[in-house]
Structure 1
Amino acid sequence: MPQRISDQAASAARWRLAQQGLSRLLTQDMQRLRRLILPSQLRSSVPDWIAAVNAVVDQYSRASATLAADYYEAERAAARIGQSFTAPLADPPPPDQVSETMRWATADLWPRDPEDPATTPAQKEPLAVRLEQAEVKAERAAQKLAADTGRQTVTGAARQDRLAIGWARTASLGACAFCKMLATRGMVYKQSTVDFRAHDGCHCGAIPVFKGQRFELSDQAKEWERLYREYAAPHSGDQLRRFRLALAEHGHLPATH
């Protein structure tokens, strides 16, 4: 009989919590770097800040990949499929990608003509407000870059491991509607070209599935699937909004019938 695994397996929850702990440490380090941005010297200080962020993201991306590889190998051992396999670590995001992301996060810092129709409401805010908004955007974007490296380690290992058959998404009760919608889709076969989709601040993880195992949605994911199928699926083009409303109305409780 196939071994059953689900998106809420205890080991997956522990890995997700470990990655969240890593994200908290990353956020703390990002907050410390905030002092490098000098409001009176934006043009000279922001590039220095971006260089420092690159170093921090690289450090935490490597740690995320190591955590993910350890998790993958532990899951493989638990599957009792024999034959050793070392999960390859995904590369950290290249410096150009990190720099471009941070330039996006700080784009609203630069002075704009308030009378210019192209100036957005966010760009009209006082500099102190714009700095705070840029900090939040940068922290969430940096978290995604680091967490992606861990998720790519799991999905990449599953694609290379001949005894793996695919991977599935694990999302927490507090995940957003987008992540819960994707989690209801179950296992992705490794031959698929589908990548792990995530947003800034996303804490979802990927679960490897091996030969001799059968992936099943947890009770909470089955409830999300029911809500999506009943309230959102028939409405093409408006599915995510309707799913979000259904989640808000019904909460996260498992289906009782």
Structure 2
Amino acid sequence: MAADAGAAQRYRGIQALMAARVAQRVLQVWRDLMNPAKVDASWLAVRAALVPIVEQGRQQSAELARVAYTEARRAEISEEDGFKPEGPLPLLLDRLESALDVTGPIEFKKAIAAGKTPQQALDAAAVRMVGTTQYLALEGGRQVMNRSIEADERATGWARVTDGSPCAWCAMLASRGPVYKTAKTAGDPRQGGNSYHDHCACQAWPAFTHDEPFIGVAEKLYDDWLRTTRGRGGTHAVNAFRRWWESEGRAGYAAPERP
């Protein structure tokens, strides 16, 4: 049975909505509690308010992934074999607080040192902080998907599902289409299909057969990859695709219709 591309797109969308809610809460705390005249004094209260927001978002993302994986698996595998999706790895408090420190007061002070006004510095730090907090929250669901796919003997691999305007890196990785756990990727510069970055809206979607279709615009991206990298390999291929994407590819990209 072919993968449900509509379910994959809906899953990506609901994770994006969860991340948007995290961003709203983070920005509200930042604007309400951060005092640009007393950065260090106000930061401890800001960080204490941000920690549970990220932790709750991470739990929500993990639960969304658990439900989605279970439903996707049930749609492809009719018999019950007792498999349960894996949980995410724990988010260590030291890691979370360090990430918040770097994107909060440290980013603010860097912006001030670069000649920004206090308001501009607050805005610059807010952008960094939203990206990092969303990344850490979404990591919960992404780990559930990746760890479950690795642990599930019935899973053949995954596909990367992008949003309507991915960066060149994510568009390149999505162009691989379904990636199988046993696939030989040596020599393919598009490795790293399960890696993500701040402000990244991509998600992994499980595959349970060896004839999975491309999801969304991945097949078109694959054709564009072949065309723009013809005769090139390695980093030369990556750079050629990136140049094409930034000059004209992104403008011609059409997001999949909402199912």
- Please confirm whether the aligned pair reaches a TM-score higher than 0.5, indicating the same fold: yes
Say whether the 8 Å CA contact 2:165–2:250 is kept in structure 1: no
Aligned mates of 1:62, 1:219 — CA distance in 2: 27
1:142 aligns with 2:129: no
Q: How many residues were matched structurally? A: 241
Say whether the 8 Å CA contact 1:232–1:242 is kept in structure 2: no
Gaps of 5+ in 2: 184-190
- Change in Cα spacing, 1:146 to 1:84, as seen in structure 2 (3 Å) is same
1:238 aligns with 2:233: no
Q: In the TM superposition, what whole-angstrom CA distance separates every residue of 1:117-157 from its partner, at most 9, and x where no partner exists?
A: xx5xxx31011110011011101211111112101101100
Task: Tell me how far 1:10 sits from its aligned partner.
Answer: 0.8
Q: Match for 2:7: what amino acid?
A: S
Instruction: Look up the match of 2:58.
Output: 61
Identical pairs, percent: 25
Task: Tell me how far 1:18 sits from its aligned partner.
Answer: 1.0
Aligned mates of 1:42, 1:253 — CA distance in 2: 41
Instruction: Look up the match of 1:31.
Output: 27
Query: Match of 2:164, SS?
Result: coil
Say whether the 8 Å CA contact 2:161–2:215 is kept in structure 1: no
Instruction: Look up the match of 1:161.
Output: 152
Aligned mates of 1:167, 1:253 — CA distance in 2: 20
Task: Tell me how far 1:194 sits from its aligned partner.
Answer: 4.9
Aligned mates of 1:53, 1:249 — CA distance in 2: 36
Instruction: Look up the match of 1:220.
Output: 217
- Change in Cα spacing, 1:252 to 1:150, as seen in structure 2 (3 Å) is same
- Change in Cα spacing, 1:180 to 1:227, as seen in structure 2 (3 Å) is same
Matches within 5 A, 1:1-257: 3-5=1-3, 9-34=5-30, 35-82=32-79, 83-106=81-104, 107-110=106-109, 123-190=114-181, 194=192, 196-210=194-208, 212=209, 214-218=211-215, 220-232=217-229, 234=232, 235-236=236-237, 238-239=239-240, 240-248=242-250, 250-252=252-254
Task: Tell me how far 1:236 sits from its aligned partner.
Answer: 4.0
Gaps of 5+ in 1: none
Task: Tell me how far 1:57 sits from its aligned partner.
Answer: 0.5
Aligned mates of 2:237, 2:252 — CA distance in 1: 21
Q: Match for 1:46: what amino acid?
A: W
Say whether the 8 Å CA contact 1:228–1:243 is kept in structure 2: no
Greater share of strand residues, 1 or 2? 1
- Change in Cα spacing, 1:13 to 1:102, as seen in structure 2 (3 Å) is same
Task: Tell me how far 1:177 sits from its aligned partner.
Answer: 2.1
More displaced stretch, 31-40 vs 236-245: 236-245
Q: In the TM superposition, what whole-angstrom CA distance separates every residue of 1:3-41 from its partner, at most 9, and x where no partner exists?
A: 2227xx111111111111111211111122112211222
Say whether the 8 Å CA contact 2:142–2:203 is kept in structure 1: yes
TM-score by length of structure 2 reads 0.83
- How much is the aligned-residue C-alpha RMSD, in angstroms? 2.5
Task: Tell me how far 1:186 sits from its aligned partner.
Answer: 2.2
Task: Tell me how far 1:164 sits from its aligned partner.
Answer: 1.1
Q: In the TM superposition, what whole-angstrom CA distance separates every residue of 1:174-194 from its partner, at most 9, and x where no partner exists?
A: 222221110111233336795
Query: Match of 2:211, SS?
Result: strand
TM-score by length of structure 1 reads 0.84
